[in-house]
Amino acid sequence: MIKLEAYFKSGYSVINLITSEEIRAEKEILAACKAIKRKLTVWSTTEGFTQEGKNPRSVEDPVEALTEILKDPTEDQIFIFRDLHQFFQGAGGTKVCRLVRDIARIFKEKNKTLVIISAVNRLMPEMERDVTLLEFDLPDEATLTTLWDNLAEKNNLKKLFSIDENERDMIIQAARGLTTTEAENAFSKAVVDCAAIKQDRPQISKLVMTEKAIAVKKSGILEYFEAPETMMDVGGLATLKKWLSIRKSALTKKARAYGLPQPKGALFVGIPGCGKSLAAKAAANAFGVPLIRFDISKVFAGLVGMSEANMRNALQTIDAIGNCVVWMDELEKGLAGMGGGGNNDSGVSTRVFGSFLTWLQEKKSTSFVVATINRIEGLPPELIRKGRWDEIFYVGLPSAKEREEIFKIHILKDRRPIEMRTTPWMYNFKDFRMKGDSELLEKSNGFSGAEIEAAVISGLFSAFSKSDGEKPMTSDHVLSAVLNTTPLSTSRKSDLDTMAKWAEQNAVDASGEEDSNDPLSKALGVKRTAGRKLVL
């Protein structure tokens, strides 16, 4: 947390405090003023000057207000100006900037400080050396604990609900990443909703998490995802699944006490439809933490300074949330053009990209980043160098064994009716005797997992249509769909070859197994697996 008292005592003359929590920031500034015995005056364009114990004075014009505090001879004062950043540009912007720079010089000699509270950073270039930029952190665990305990005591919640220490800790963790106002609202709403349910009441922590999902989504950049997918839903990718399983407890305090470094994350590279996004979702369940989708393409905004502010706020929120898996899907689209120097947008993309890379390299939060990439062309080398990620995996086309596994996952999904065969299988179904259906496995050679799923769904539609739902699906229905599909391994062979060649030196094979039974891959010249073999 920022120690504002130390900045005031050290003689910082102008501070731009970036925060959306104006009320909490002003409370902390007031506490610091009382500790060092300085007077506090607050200005806004709507209320003018306000000071404790005095009547407010209506001064709406920022130039007039800045001129007044510049000429005020009284020493040992702190001034708060709300949303002054709105007047840095446009009519009068030049004079406002000049006055702020004059104040930075004069206040240094009079032991006074001007604090500009802004939700975004819009400092003009000429002001950057004169103004100290500080980011006001989101509330920490101790602050959230105090908020909850006050609410619980005020409403005597111990008599209404059964809340043990474990549930209390889960409630606090669920609120991480929210502002104090959002957390108070989430706590109150969760309590009201829980009280309205008379039987089978849900945990308050889960209701708080639901409210957080709504609050996080407001930014349009981060989104809380309910991910029911588990590693059982991922066909193949044995090496990747084992690697994630080994790290499933890496975000815990016990891991830190053991001396394990904070994990950074993993990068999944491969053509679309091979299970990268599915594995990312399943990772959140394996780790037992929330899944936060980070759409980096939505960071960029039209107003000056907004893109940088969006990135900063998103990263700050992720850090405050703590234990979570951050899913960045199709990262190459969001980073398009970032590696080109940022010449077309006055360096905005370069600064945003630099902020992201620095955070990825140096982050201390207990978040695990999983990013997926479909194309490697144009990727900036800084993104994939050693140290940015714990590991880079190449997710290639499934082998015959993996295709059999993927077929079974989708054929048996949602208890779908399938043809009865001689060998019993799970859920009182008879399986497709995949090993016996060699033609289905052979003809699906070169198919991705998504293409196999599409073939099964197409076969299900065909079976339902032909019998009006009276007869089960057979392998013939699926085979027909397979034969009518041109896989990406054919239509995008050059992309696959390029990626496989790149993976040989830069990635680990997520599957970890060779497949000598793929004659079609050999005939097409398709490299199914690529990358280093990882021994776990």
pLDDT in the model for residue 421: 41
Nearest to 14 by CA among 100, 87, 122, 118: 100
SS3 assignment, position 460: helix
Count the residues in the chain.
Answer: 536
d(CA 426, CA 412): 9
Cα-based torsion angle of the residue sequence 8, 12, 14, 18 in order, rounded to the nearest 10 degrees: -70
Residue 1's pLDDT is: 62
Which of 189, 185, 151 is closest to 168 using CA atoms?
151
Which residues of 88-137 form beta strands (DSSP E)? 113-118, 132-135
pLDDT of residue 336: 67
Helix (H, G, I), strand (E, B) or coil at 275: coil
Lookup: tokens for 295: 């759409």
Per-residue pLDDT reduced to its tens digit, 106-140 = 998 888 999 999 988 888 889 989 999 998 888 88
Instruction: Choose among 236, 233, 232, 214: nearest CA to 223.
Output: 214
The β-bridge partners of 17 are 117, 134
pLDDT of residue 384: 82
pTM: 0.74
pLDDT the model gives residue 463? 86
In this prediction, residue 287 carries a pLDDT of 87
Task: With a cut of 70, list the residues of the chain below it in pLDDT.
Answer: 1, 301-305, 336-347, 414-437, 513-529, 535-536
Q: What is the pLDDT of residue 425?
A: 34
Q: Which of 287, 299, 291 is nearest to 245 (CA)?
A: 287
